[in-house]
């Protein structure tokens, strides 16, 4: 039976590669959420400042329209990123299932090989015992 260890290593590499890609996407998502939160903080600061300065108060509606558009852009980017993350998670799961399938087949082959070895050893010991018994019978029958 062919050894599956090279295929298992290849699949392990594939799982690792896909996990790294997923990790990168998750880091991008985290950065995006941090940027959105920082922008929301800036909006709050601008509103606070506009309450203290008449010139800033006049510019506030324009800034808030821009802020609304920017927050919608964050949300669209996040939605697209979530789709990519979901795809990457499925790819990791698929690669992992494939790896496990090969590992299980290899494990079954290893068990079968071990059982075949044990069976051959048992046959060899039985044959040795049979030869020894035959010799004892031949030797024991001639001395009477």
Q: Confirm whether 59 is domain-assigned.
A: yes
Q: Residue 92, exposed/middle/buried by CB under 10 A (0-12, 13-18, 19+)?
A: buried
pLDDT in tens, 103-126: 999 999 999 999 999 999 999 988
Structural domains of the chain, count = 1
Q: What is the DSSP string of 2-68?
A: ---HHHHHHHHHHHHHHHHHHHHHHHHHHHHHHHHHHHHHHHHHHHHHHTT-HHHHHHHHHHHHHHH
How many residues in the chain?
144
Residue 53: pLDDT over 60 = yes
> Is residue 43 predicted with pLDDT exceeding 70?
yes
Kindly state whether residue 35 falls inside one of the protein's structural domains.
Answer: yes
User: For residue range 63-103, what is the model confidence (pLDDT) as tens digits?
Assistant: 999 999 999 999 999 999 999 999 999 999 999 999 999 99
What pLDDT does residue 9 have? 93
pTM of the predicted model as reported, rounded to 2 decimal places: 0.72
Which residue range(s) make up the domain with 55? 5-99
């Amino acid at each position: 039976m062919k050894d599956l260890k090279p295929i298992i290593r290849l699949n392990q590499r594939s799982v690792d590669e896909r996990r790294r890609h997923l990790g990168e996407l998750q880091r991008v998502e985290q950065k995006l959420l941090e940027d959105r939160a920082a922008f929301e903080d800036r909006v709050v600061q601008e509103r606070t400042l506009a309450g203290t300065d008449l010139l800033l108060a006049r510019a506030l509606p324009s800034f808030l329209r821009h802020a609304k558009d920017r927050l919608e852009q964050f949300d669209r980017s996040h939605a697209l990123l979530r789709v990519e993350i979901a795809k990457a998670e499925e790819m990791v799961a698929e690669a992992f299932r494939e790896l496990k399938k090969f590992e299980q087949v290899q494990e079954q082959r290893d068990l079968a090989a071990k059982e075949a070895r044990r069976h051959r050893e048992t046959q060899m010991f039985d044959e040795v015992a049979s030869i020894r018994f035959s010799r004892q019978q031949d030797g024991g029958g001639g001395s009477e």
